[in-house]
Amino acid sequence: MASKNQLHHRFLYLALLFILGVCEATARAALEDASMYERRQQWMVQFGRVL
């Protein structure tokens, strides 16, 4: 049976892994939003649309 200290460390590692996963997903979404904005701007220029 794992000691309390080992269980505590496992919990911390899992929490850290979860937090890093959330940060990665958030960063990816922000990059996709920036990419979509840039594609929209290019479309606006290509088809002569104005804001």
pLDDT of residue 51: 59
Q: What is the pTM of this model?
A: 0.59
Question: Both tokens of residue 28?
Answer: 């990816």
pLDDT of residue 1: 56
Q: Identify the DSSP state of 47.
A: T
The whole-number mean pLDDT for each consecutive block of 10 residues of the chain, a chain of 51 residues, reads 86 96 90 87 87 59
Question: Both tokens of residue 27?
Answer: 């960063």
Residue 41 Cα to chain centre, angstroms = 23
